[in-house]
Amino acid sequence: MKTFSIAIHGGAGTLVKGMMTPELEAQYKAALQLALDAGYNVLEAGKTAVEAVEVAVKLLEDSHLFNAGKGSVFTATESHEMDASIMDGKTLNAGAVSLITGIKNPVSLARDVMEKSEHVFLAGDGAMQFAKERDYKLEDASYFYDEFRHKQWLEIKDTDRFQLDHAKKKDSKFGTVGAVACDQDGNIAAATSTGGMTNKKWGRVGDSPMIGAGNYANNKTCAISCTGSGEFFIRGVVAYDVACLMEHKGMSVKEASEEVINKRILEIGGDGGLIAVDAKGNIAMPFNTEGMYRGQKSSNGIDEVAIYG
């Protein structure tokens, strides 16, 4: 049987050990393990990589600990605007949504865009109309309220500052969640979801919903989910850059991922990390920050969650 595997992340950034209590660290690791195990169980049952990444990301979206779904940060207008994307490496089909509100699991809406529309990317009012036509339940604003997130916003509201969830405060992080998987048939997939930036204005969109920037999957190369300073990941077309290095330079998934995260993105001033898997189930999880919430599990016996380097 081919090796099947899954990797997940819950954001990268300035995660200083001294500011993380043992209780909070245990909560993060438990939430990561829950999502990792759920995605792996899907693969173990012989289901697709697309199903596995959706299941894993939904559980991360359901946790208030991560900036996606329930834990999304507050915008300048004290609301929540979420983005998500998903891609199938077998068919190169993809779906993405941006600037959506009230949707409990944005990744599921992105998958519906991929499979139940003729489009790839829906945003704002149009994406919400699509969700309503598909009978999505809209959650009340109270579902997305988190006291820690609200305090983050109160500190910078009414200013021109915005916060990549890690900026200024040493105990914070880039807020994105994601999963990549390789199933028993050697097909791969990637999914990414985020609540964006604290105090963001003007309908700002980061790399998470952008195919090729924050999310990408192609059976010929790899599946990638990114987390980091979105503006730089967009300009560096990071996810596709990794795939290109594999396709055109013959690099392994590990070599290509390391080259992009530890050299190419740094050269233009960006920081963050990514998770990647190839069609043989090999996983890479590089980051150039102090930490990245992450986990990996494979049929060859790997099973781990980690936060720091």
Which residues participate in catalysis according to the annotation? 176
Could you tell me the strand order of the sheet in which 188-194 lies? 121-123, 94-100, 82-88, 188-194, 177-182, 5-13, 291-298, 303-308
Q: What is the 3-state secondary structure (H, E, C) of 44-78?
A: HCCCCHHHHHHHHHHHHHCCCCCCCHHHCCCCCCC
Closest CA to 187 of 110, 277, 80: 277
Residue 2's SS3 state is coil
Contact 213, 238 (CB under 8 A): yes
Alpha carbon separation from 305 to 15, 20, 28 (Å, rounded): 15, 16, 9
Beta bridge partners of 227: 273
- Beta-strand relationship, 5-13 and 177-182: antiparallel
Contact 238, 229 (CB under 8 A): no
What is the chain's Cα-based Rg? 17
State the DSSP string of 278-308: -TT--EE--BSSSEEEEEEEETTS-EEEEEE
Alpha carbon separation from 173 to 114, 178, 260 (Å, rounded): 29, 14, 20
